Chain A
Amino acid sequence: MNKLIKIALSSALILSVGATSSFASADKGQKLFTKKLKKPCGITGAAMAGKHTQAEWAEIKEDGKGAEEIKKICPAATDGDVKEEYLEHYLDFFHEYGSDSGNVPAC
């Protein structure tokens, strides 16, 4: 195998061992929304995110009111749907597509 490929492979290995990040949070939030909240909410993820501005979503996250707010918008959501471990990802996703974000959802 070419030396350059070996160097590239070694670099990749070293870099990955040093990496601490997990999957992208907003992407994970989108995936979790489809899995857990789409049915109880009855709206798309983009529509859900559009319920608040980015600043409002940030404040909801800071105040630890994510679960409360999701349940307010989606009364059919259960405690299991808004578990603590999901909230960070949901709120990152909602923030990404907040009503004033101008971000264009995937189609």
Chain B
Amino acid sequence: MKKILALSSLAFLSTLAFADTDMQKQIDDLKAQLEKLEKMQNSQEKQISKVNIQSAKDNIKFDVDFRTSVDALSYETASGEKFHNDALYSNRLWLGMGYAPTDEMIFKGQLAFNKAFGASYGQRGTGMGYDTFDWVVNETLTDDSVKVREAYWLWMPTVGGLQTTLSVGRRPSTNGSLINLRDDDKEQSPLGHVINMEFDGASASVKLDQIAQGMSFKVCLGRGLTNAGAWADSTGRNYIDNGVLDTADMYGFIFVPYNDGQYSVKTTWYRGMNMPGVDMVNPAITTDDKLETRGDMDGAAVSLMSNGIGDEINDFLDETIVFASFAMSTSHPDSGKTMLGSFDSKNGYSYWIGTQMPNLTGGKFGVEFNHGSSNWRPFTYGEDTMIGSKIAARGNAYEAYWTQPIVSDVFSMQVRYTRIDYDYTGSNAFFGDYSTPYAIDSNEAIDGGAVKTASDLRVYFRYRY
């Protein structure tokens, strides 16, 4: 019996040993297979990533920003006359594009279309021509053609350990700092208090974080007008100086002394040379309202912003923005010519304050106020306000808006009310006699039919992807 038991145990143990060996072998095989699968997966992920890079970086990437808006416009003149357009419908399309074949070299562009609903008979783009003027051609309501709003290359090399940029083309010079808040746009580099119009030019910048957090310096160059005449005119001298207007150039800088993401200080200075304007004294020119070169115009601004109040006190304060900005302009008329109605250099100033705060519906609510003096003259012709640039107001401008995301970050709406009370005429004119500041209750203003008060109530719906 004992012998049988011993033999049985031996047989059992040996089976177990074999089973163990067999199981271990299976586990080892499985491990090897898992490792193989893992390697295959890693390899496939790398392959997918390569394909992604190839497909993503081998093409220009497009984005769409399409806005439909309705504006109720009201004007009251110095003599008390009232004018309205209760429902001006318009569509605006921005077709953005970007291409970054390397980390240091980028192309960006934007095609635009901006038009009122319906045909316009002999009104826009066929009258004075200012609504199709190159500085504002994509900001005003024109026809259904698609135009280039931005097109530039941007090179971002690191030089001597410093991050630098160099860019040439039709650069973004609208939607600059602070004005982008109410426009619900990403901030572009110009200070919206003084520059908000389209430009062809160049810029070069260097980041100086080693000196102070967020410090940077950018040089900006722009050409606002060319003196080149037409191709194949009667003289046969293509593109030479047309003898009408001088080339108008601008140079300046944007200096950011500090920007830690919450608190920022931004400054700018520029000089616009050979600025155009209409001469109302010279009858030869007045008859057809032609522009002539009048002189230079300087501008400067300092803008302070707190993006969040305090440090994590609560979500509301974290998301609240407050800002204040101060700006100046100075005219330099050419000898024997007037600018802003004067043969002498004139200074203008403006201040602008505002806040934007989150609301209970996940949107943003904002209020702004700005004031400009009699000789205030910024370059904000491209501002997205139907009644004319509120920032350029020689008087007071009030604004309240509510921006609300509706479907994620793809579809949003805004309700905005803007009111401008002018103290002086000429707020939205160029640099010649139309920009002469007559007090709004003066005979000149009353007889000329100057607008005393303007308001715009806008509702828009906007798709972005």
Please report the C-alpha to C-alpha distance between residue A19 and residue B361 in the assembled complex, in whole angstroms.
7
Question: Is B363's CB under 8 angstroms from A16's CB?
Answer: yes
Whether, in the assembled complex, A27 has its beta carbon less than 8 Å from a beta carbon of chain B, the answer is: yes
Stretch at the interface among A48-56, A60-68, A69-77: A48-56
Whether A2 touches B87, Cβ cut-off 8 Å, given contacts A8-B459, A50-B103, is: yes
Which residues 54-104 of A have a CB within 8 angstroms of B? 54-55, 99-104
Please report the C-alpha to C-alpha distance between residue A53 and residue B48 in the assembled complex, in whole angstroms.
10
Whether, in the assembled complex, B29 has its beta carbon less than 8 Å from a beta carbon of chain A, the answer is: no
Whether A102 touches B55, Cβ cut-off 8 Å, given contacts A31-B261, A36-B261, is: yes
Stretch at the interface among B14-22, B288-296, B400-408: B400-408
Whether A103 touches B61, Cβ cut-off 8 Å, given contacts A5-B459, A35-B308, is: yes
Give the number of A-B contacts (CB < 8 Å): 121
What residues of chain B lie closer than 8 Å to A22, measured between beta carbons? Answer: 362, 405
Please report the C-alpha to C-alpha distance between residue A45 and residue B420 in the assembled complex, in whole angstroms.
39
Please report the C-alpha to C-alpha distance between residue A102 and residue B163 in the assembled complex, in whole angstroms.
21
Question: Is A53's CB under 8 angstroms from B49's CB?
Answer: yes
Question: Is B86's CB under 8 angstroms from A16's CB?
Answer: no
Whether, in the assembled complex, B36 has its beta carbon less than 8 Å from a beta carbon of chain A, the answer is: no
Please report the C-alpha to C-alpha distance between residue A94 and residue B295 in the assembled complex, in whole angstroms.
49
What residues of chain B lie closer than 8 Å to A17, measured between beta carbons? Answer: 361
Please report the C-alpha to C-alpha distance between residue A38 and residue B329 in the assembled complex, in whole angstroms.
35
Please report the C-alpha to C-alpha distance between residue A44 and residue B307 in the assembled complex, in whole angstroms.
19
Please report the C-alpha to C-alpha distance between residue A4 and residue B72 in the assembled complex, in whole angstroms.
10
What residues of chain A lie closer than 8 Å to B402, measured between beta carbons? Answer: 16
Whether A102 touches B57, Cβ cut-off 8 Å, given contacts A39-B213, A53-B49, A107-B154, is: yes
Question: Is B261's CB under 8 angstroms from A34's CB?
Answer: yes
8 Å CB contact of B100 from A2, A15, A102: A102
How near does chain A come to B51, taking the closest CB pair, in angstroms? Answer: 9
Convert B50-63 into 0s and 1s, putting 1 for each residue whose CB lies closer than 8 angstroms to a CB of A.
10110111010100
Please report the C-alpha to C-alpha distance between residue A9 and residue B61 in the assembled complex, in whole angstroms.
35
Whether, in the assembled complex, B415 has its beta carbon less than 8 Å from a beta carbon of chain A, the answer is: yes
Whether A5 touches B72, Cβ cut-off 8 Å, given contacts A35-B262, A38-B261, A107-B154, is: yes
Please report the C-alpha to C-alpha distance between residue A103 and residue B53 in the assembled complex, in whole angstroms.
10
What residues of chain A lie closer than 8 Å to B457, measured between beta carbons? Answer: 1, 5
Q: Which residue of A lies closest to B461 (CB)?
A: A12
Question: Is B56's CB under 8 angstroms from A101's CB?
Answer: yes
Please report the C-alpha to C-alpha distance between residue A38 and residue B260 in the assembled complex, in whole angstroms.
8
Please report the C-alpha to C-alpha distance between residue A102 and residue B262 in the assembled complex, in whole angstroms.
29
Q: How large is the interface on B (under 10, 10 to 19, 20 to 34, 35 or more residues)?
A: 35 or more
What residues of chain B lie closer than 8 Å to A16, measured between beta carbons? Answer: 361, 363, 402, 404, 406, 413
How near does chain A come to B162, taking the closest CB pair, in angstroms? Answer: 13
Whether, in the assembled complex, B449 has its beta carbon less than 8 Å from a beta carbon of chain A, the answer is: no
Please report the C-alpha to C-alpha distance between residue A22 and residue B167 in the assembled complex, in whole angstroms.
35
Question: Is A35's CB under 8 angstroms from B61's CB?
Answer: no
Please report the C-alpha to C-alpha distance between residue A54 and residue B167 in the assembled complex, in whole angstroms.
28
Question: Is A25's CB under 8 angstroms from B409's CB?
Answer: yes
Convert B142-186 into 0s and 1s, putting 1 for each residue whose CB lies closer than 8 angstroms to a CB of A.
000000000000101000000101010000000000000000001
Question: Is A5's CB under 8 angstroms from B108's CB?
Answer: no
Question: Is B70's CB under 8 angstroms from A53's CB?
Answer: no
How near does chain A come to B359, taking the closest CB pair, in angstroms? Answer: 9
Whether, in the assembled complex, B439 has its beta carbon less than 8 Å from a beta carbon of chain A, the answer is: no
Question: Is A2's CB under 8 angstroms from B86's CB?
Answer: yes
Please report the C-alpha to C-alpha distance between residue A27 and residue B409 in the assembled complex, in whole angstroms.
9
What residues of chain B lie closer than 8 Å to A36, measured between beta carbons? Answer: 261
Which residues 243-261 of B have a CB within 8 angstroms of A? 260-261
Please report the C-alpha to C-alpha distance between residue A8 and residue B457 in the assembled complex, in whole angstroms.
11
What would 16 A/B residue contacts be, using CB atoms closer than 8 Å? A2-B87, A5-B70, A9-B415, A9-B459, A15-B413, A16-B361, A19-B361, A21-B362, A21-B406, A35-B307, A36-B261, A44-B163, A99-B49, A100-B49, A102-B55, A107-B108
Interface residues in chain A, defined as those with a beta carbon under 8 Å from any beta carbon in chain B: 1-2, 4-5, 8-9, 12, 15-17, 19-27, 31, 33-36, 38-39, 44, 47, 50, 53-55, 99-107
